[in-house]
């Protein structure tokens, strides 16, 4: 986990800078912070902490079912989307997994721990802005199913080893989006081939209208994982959920431990997913700050990948020196050299408030000028 962003605690120990003074651009969290309605409700709920939470987040599942028009049986809540990413291969036991490169590293680790014996990579090309080709990805799904040793029909989910594919949308760390219709085309190939397609929509709240979560009703091979922590700035509470066909949820649920989602997280998730005013304000603020950041990066002649999410992948000469120099100034950015398919020369930065963004840009200008 030391390879991930957001570790202000380690940075504070390394630099001697107090945690509250560190500007964290290494974790892509909504800079508007915890929604006020949620903060108020959490304070009021403190006295309820003497009680156990609902073991399987039943009330939250019912709320999400009403919100998305899905049955409660289709929803499994977890301690952040990461718990669910580990749960799915453990429960469904794919023999082969297909993973784009670069993408979120926990997919591969989760499958390795679950005992998946084969992995296929799908390399995303820098010259194409690291975009996913729906046609090429569909062909890789067919290859993964053949490699998994089992091709299932479309009638029902497999009861034994088969294939699983992960698609992070928008992708982390590139911020590139696969359009909804293209995801559905990939999902249809997965259904025909009998391959589970796990679509990680952790950052899709920043791209309204592009989700495929409603389609799990008609496709038993489509699984959508979502996070409440990124858009609603609740990373410290850890809350996420997975949506899938009830027949698949029936296979997954026996592997799910009880009480992994605490009472405050369950309450907060219900409140924030109803907070339309916060959602609108966040999207408006993010659009304004992304425009500012792109303009400033152009001025500094720093190469970046156009992004639909609240972060940018930067291509920099001597990127690790830039990262180290920023950290000395109390600014964290994400070193992306450990992503498969990238290497030294890539950093990821979050989009934060205007004041924070101005500080980052000013410091990067000072640091990069002598390096150019």
Whether 201 shows a pLDDT value over 50: the answer reads: yes
* pLDDT at residue 157 in the model: 62
pLDDT in tens, 321-337: 999 999 999 999 999 99
Strand 163-168 relative to strand 195-200, pairing: parallel
Q: How many CB atoms lie within 10 A of CB 108?
A: 18
Residue in the block written with tokens 């020369």: 345
* pLDDT at residue 1 in the model: 41
User: What DSSP string runs through 214-283?
Assistant: GGGGT-TTEEEEEESTTTTT-TTT--EEEE--HHHHHHHGGGPPTT-S-HHHHHHHHHHTT-HHHHHHHH
Six token digits for residue 339: 């992503």
Q: Where does the chain hold its CATH 3.40.640.10 domain(s)?
A: 52-272
**CATH dotted code for 8-35+276-371:** 3.90.1150.10
Cis peptide before 246 (omega within 30 of 0): no
CA–CA distance, 25 with 8 (Å, rounded to integer): 10
Whether 153 shows a pLDDT value over 70: the answer reads: no
* pLDDT at residue 286 in the model: 98
Residue 16 has phi, psi (to 5 degrees) of: 80, 5
* pLDDT at residue 371 in the model: 63
Q: Where does the chain hold its CATH 3.90.1150.10 domain(s)?
A: 8-35+276-371
Q: In which element (H, E) is residue 131 found?
A: none
Residue 26 DSSP class: S
By C-alpha distance, which of 78, 119, 113, 76 is closest to 95? 119
Q: What mean pLDDT do residues 61-77 have? A: 97
CA–CA distance, 263 with 54 (Å, rounded to integer): 7
- Which of 3.90.230.10, 1.10.1670.10, 3.40.640.10, 2.60.120.200 is the CATH number of 52-272? 3.40.640.10
Percentage, residues of the chain above pLDDT 70: 94
pLDDT in tens, 281-336: 999 999 999 999 999 999 999 999 999 999 999 999 899 999 999 999 999 999 99
* pLDDT at residue 3 in the model: 66
């Amino acid at each position: 986990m030391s390879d991930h962003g957001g570790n202000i605690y380690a940075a504070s120990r390394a630099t001697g800078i107090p945690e509250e003074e560190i500007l964290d651009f290494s974790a892509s969290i909504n800079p508007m912070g915890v929604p006020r309605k949620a903060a108020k409700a959490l304070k009021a709920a403190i006295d309820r902490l003497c009680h156990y939470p609902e073991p399987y987040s039943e009330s939250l599942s019912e709320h999400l079912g009403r919100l998305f028009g899905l049955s409660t049986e289709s929803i499994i809540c977890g301690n952040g989307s990461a718990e669910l990413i580990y749960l799915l291969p453990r429960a469904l036991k794919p023999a082969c997994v297909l993973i784009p490169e670069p993408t979120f590293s926990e997919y591969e680790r989760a499958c390795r721990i679950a005992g998946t014996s084969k992995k296929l990579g799908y390399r995303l090309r820098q010259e194409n802005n690291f975009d996913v080709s729906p046609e090429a990805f569909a062909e890789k799904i067919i290859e993964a199913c053949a490699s998994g040793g089992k091709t299932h029909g479309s009638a029902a989910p497999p009861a034994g080893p088969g294939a699983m594919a992960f698609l992070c949308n928008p992708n982390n760390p590139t911020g590139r989006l696969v359009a909804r219709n293209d995801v559905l085309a990939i999902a249809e190939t997965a259904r025909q081939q009998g391959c589970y397609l796990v679509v990680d929509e952790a950052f899709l709240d920043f791209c309204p209208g592009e989700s495929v979560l409603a389609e799990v009703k008609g496709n038993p091979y489509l699984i959508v994982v979502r996070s409440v922590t990124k858009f609603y700035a609740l990373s410290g509470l850890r809350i996420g959920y997975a949506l899938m066909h009830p027949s698949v949820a029936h296979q997954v649920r026996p592997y799910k431990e009880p009480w992994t989602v605490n009472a405050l997280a369950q309450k907060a998730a219900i409140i924030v997913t109803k907070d339309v005013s916060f959602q609108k304000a966040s999207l408006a603020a993010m659009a304004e700050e992304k425009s500012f950041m792109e303009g400033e990066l152009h001025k500094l002649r720093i190469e970046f990948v156009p992004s639909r999410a609240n972060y940018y992948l930067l291509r920099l000469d001597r990127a690790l020196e830039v990262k180290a120099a920023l950290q000395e100034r109390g600014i964290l950015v994400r070193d992306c050299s450990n992503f498969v398919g990238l290497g030294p020369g890539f950093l990821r930065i979050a989009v934060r408030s205007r004041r924070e963004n101005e500080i980052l840009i000013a410091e990067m200008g000072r640091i990069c000028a002598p390096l150019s």
